[in-house]
Structure 1
Amino acid sequence: MVYQRSAVEALPAYVQGKSIPDAIKLSSNENPYPPLESVAEVVRECATSFHLYPDMSAAGLVARLAERWNVRPEEVAVGSGSVEVASQLIHASAGEGDEVMFAWRSFEAYPILVQVAGATPVPVPLTADDRHDLDAMVAAITDRTRLIFICTPNNPTGSVVTRAEMQNFLDRVPKEVLVVIDEAYSHFDDDPESVDGLEFFRSHPNVAVLHTFSKAYGLAGLRVGYAIAPERVATNLRRVAVPFGVSTLAQAAAIASLDAESELQERVDVILGERTRVVAKLRDSGWQLHDSLGNFVWLRTGSATAEVDAILREHGVVARAFLGDGIRVTIGSPEMNDRFLAAIGNTAPAA
Structure 2
Amino acid sequence: MAHLPLTYPQGMVAPTPRPALAGIPVYRAGRPAADPASKLSSNELPFDPLPGVLDRAVAELRHVNRYPDAGCTALTTALAGHHEVDPDRIAIGTGSVAVLYALLSAFCGPGDEVVLPWRSFEAYPIAVELTGAAGVRVPVGADGTHDLAGMAAAITPRTRAVLVCTPNNPTGPVVTADELASLVAAVPPSVLLVVDEAYVEFVTDPAAASGPDWLDRENVVVLRTFSKAHGLAALRVGYALAHAPVAEAVRKVLPPFGVSDVAQAAAIASLESLDAMGERVAAVVAERDAVVAGLRGQGWDVPQAQGNFVWLPLGAEAVEFAAAAQPLSVRAFAGEGVRVTIGLPEVNEQFLATTRRWRTGS
So what's the TM-score if we normalise by structure 1? Answer: 0.97
The corresponding residue for 2:92 is: 78
- Residue 332 in 1 paired to residue 346 in 2? no
Query: What residue identity is the alignment partner of 1:143?
Result: P
Deviations for 1:199-253, whole angstroms, at most 9, x for unmatched residues?
Answer: 0113x22111000000000000000000000000000001000111100001000
- Residue 211 in 1 paired to residue 209 in 2? no
The corresponding residue for 1:68 is: 82
Deviations for 1:280-323, whole angstroms, at most 9, x for unmatched residues?
Answer: 1111111111211000000000011122111102xx11100000
Deviations for 1:315-336, whole angstroms, at most 9, x for unmatched residues?
Answer: x111000000000000011122
Superposition deviation, residue 115 in structure 1: 1.1
Task: For 1:27 and 1:279, locate their aligned partners in 2 and report how far apart those are by CA, in whole Å.
Answer: 17
CA RMSD of aligned residues (A): 1.3
Q: How does 1:99-118 map onto structure 2 within 5 Å?
A: 99-118=113-132
Aligned-partner SS, 1:62: helix
The correspondence for 1:181, drawn from 164, 175, 195, is 195
Task: Determine which structure has more spread, i.e. the larger CA radius of gyration.
Answer: 2
Superposition deviation, residue 89 in structure 1: 1.1
Identical aligned residues as a percent: 47
The correspondence for 1:25, drawn from 30, 33, 39, is 39
The corresponding residue for 1:97 is: 111
Superposition deviation, residue 349 in structure 1: 7.8
Query: 2:20 touches 2:131 (CA, 8 Å); kept in 1?
Result: no
Unaligned runs of 5+ residues in structure 2 are: 1-13
Task: For 1:87 and 1:118, locate their aligned partners in 2 and report how far apart those are by CA, in whole Å.
Answer: 12
Task: For 2:20 and 2:181, locate their aligned partners in 1 and report how far apart those are by CA, in whole Å.
Answer: 36
The correspondence for 1:225, drawn from 234, 238, 241, is 238
Deviations for 1:58-102, whole angstroms, at most 9, x for unmatched residues?
Answer: 010001100000000000000000000010110111111111111
The correspondence for 1:149, drawn from 132, 139, 163, is 163
Query: What residue identity is the alignment partner of 1:321?
Result: A
Query: 2:121 touches 2:169 (CA, 8 Å); kept in 1?
Result: yes
- Residue 260 in 1 paired to residue 273 in 2? yes
Task: For 1:307 and 1:15, locate their aligned partners in 2 and report how far apart those are by CA, in whole Å.
Answer: 18
Superposition deviation, residue 13 in structure 1: 1.2
- Residue 288 in 1 paired to residue 301 in 2? yes
Task: For 1:22 and 1:45, locate their aligned partners in 2 and report how far apart those are by CA, in whole Å.
Answer: 29
The corresponding residue for 1:44 is: 58
Task: For 2:360 and 2:250, locate their aligned partners in 1 and report how far apart those are by CA, in whole Å.
Answer: 45
Unaligned runs of 5+ residues in structure 1 are: none
* Runs of 4+ that moved beyond 4 A: none
The corresponding residue for 2:137 is: 123
The corresponding residue for 2:4 is: none
Task: For 1:14 and 1:245, locate their aligned partners in 2 and report how far apart those are by CA, in whole Å.
Answer: 20
Superposition deviation, residue 22 in structure 1: 4.0
Task: For 2:245 and 2:20, locate their aligned partners in 1 and report how far apart those are by CA, in whole Å.
Answer: 30
Superposition deviation, residue 197 in structure 1: 0.6
Task: For 1:104 and 1:126, locate their aligned partners in 2 and report how far apart those are by CA, in whole Å.
Answer: 6
Task: For 2:141 and 2:91, locate their aligned partners in 1 and report how far apart those are by CA, in whole Å.
Answer: 32
Aligned-partner SS, 1:149: strand
* Number of equivalent positions: 347
